[in-house]
């Protein structure tokens, strides 16, 4: 049956056939529109869930990185077992074997940070060789210490130009 014969069939046939045909087309339209709308909504929901899954994956990676950093920090803290910045600075100088070259150690205050505090101290050392400076900086930044060198200035010693004077600000991070 071609389209011309359908129209002629509706025109020539009785009204019941035309009504049945109209109802079928209307029913098909009524069923097709909600199905199409449901499909579009399902596609939007699927895209939304994909975006949420991607975001959750990124958060998971970020969480693992932060967890590793915290675990590393806690392991370093457990190794050193320092009570404060003065003790940590003293440990650093004794490990480096330069306790006798310390001119002064002064606390520079505390700063509140997320989940803890940062204690600072200014350390002045005199008549150091370049090797001793490198050893101090290596030990201060090593994973075994929870210290961080915030500021440093190195000058030639006035008395012996081949030796160095060192001024540095150390920070000790302590969790609550």
The DSSP result for 85-138, as a single string, is: HHHHHHHHHHHHT-GGGEEEEEEEEEEEETTEEEEEEEEEEEEE-HHHHHHHHH
Pick the CATH number of 83-175 from 3.10.450.50, 3.30.70.60, 3.10.450.40, 3.30.1490.20: 3.30.70.60
Q: Can you give the pLDDT at residue 22?
A: 81
Mean pLDDT to the nearest integer, 126-132: 86
Query: What is the bridge-based pairing of β-strands 116-128 and 102-113?
Result: antiparallel
Burial code (b: 16+ CB inside 10 Å, e: under 16) for 43-74 equals eeeeeeeeeeeeeeeeeeeeeeeeeeeeeeee
Please give the share of the chain, as a percent, with pLDDT higher than 90. 16
Mean pLDDT to the nearest integer, 126-134: 86
The tokens for 36 are 């199409």
Global pTM value: 0.52
Task: Find the distance separating the first CA and the last CA of the chain, reported in whole Å.
Answer: 85
Mean pLDDT to the nearest integer, 127-142: 83
Looking at per-residue pLDDT, the higher value among 122 and 107 belongs to 122
Mean pLDDT to the nearest integer, 38-52: 94
Residue 176 pLDDT greater than 70, yes or no:
no
């Amino acid at each position: 049956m071609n389209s011309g014969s359908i129209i002629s069939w509706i025109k020539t046939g009785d009204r019941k056939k035309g009504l049945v045909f109209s109802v079928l087309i209307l029913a098909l339209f009524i069923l097709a529109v909600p199905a199409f709308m449901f499909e579009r909504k399902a596609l939007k929901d699927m895209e939304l869930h994909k975006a949420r899954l991607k975001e959750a994956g990124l958060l998971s990676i970020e969480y693992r990185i932060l967890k590793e950093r915290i675990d590393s920090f806690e392991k370093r803290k457990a190794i050193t077992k320092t009570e404060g910045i003065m003790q940590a600075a003293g440990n650093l100088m004794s490990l480096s074997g330069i306790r006798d070259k310390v001119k002064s150690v002064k606390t520079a205050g505390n700063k509140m940070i997320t989940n803890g505090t940062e204690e600072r101290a200014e350390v002045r050392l005199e008549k150091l060789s370049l090797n001793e400076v490198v050893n101090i900086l290596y030990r201060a930044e090593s994973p075994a210490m929870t210290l961080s060198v915030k500021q440093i200035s190195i000058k030639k010693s006035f008395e012996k130009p081949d030796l160095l004077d060192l001024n540095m600000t150390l920070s000790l991070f302590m969790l609550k």
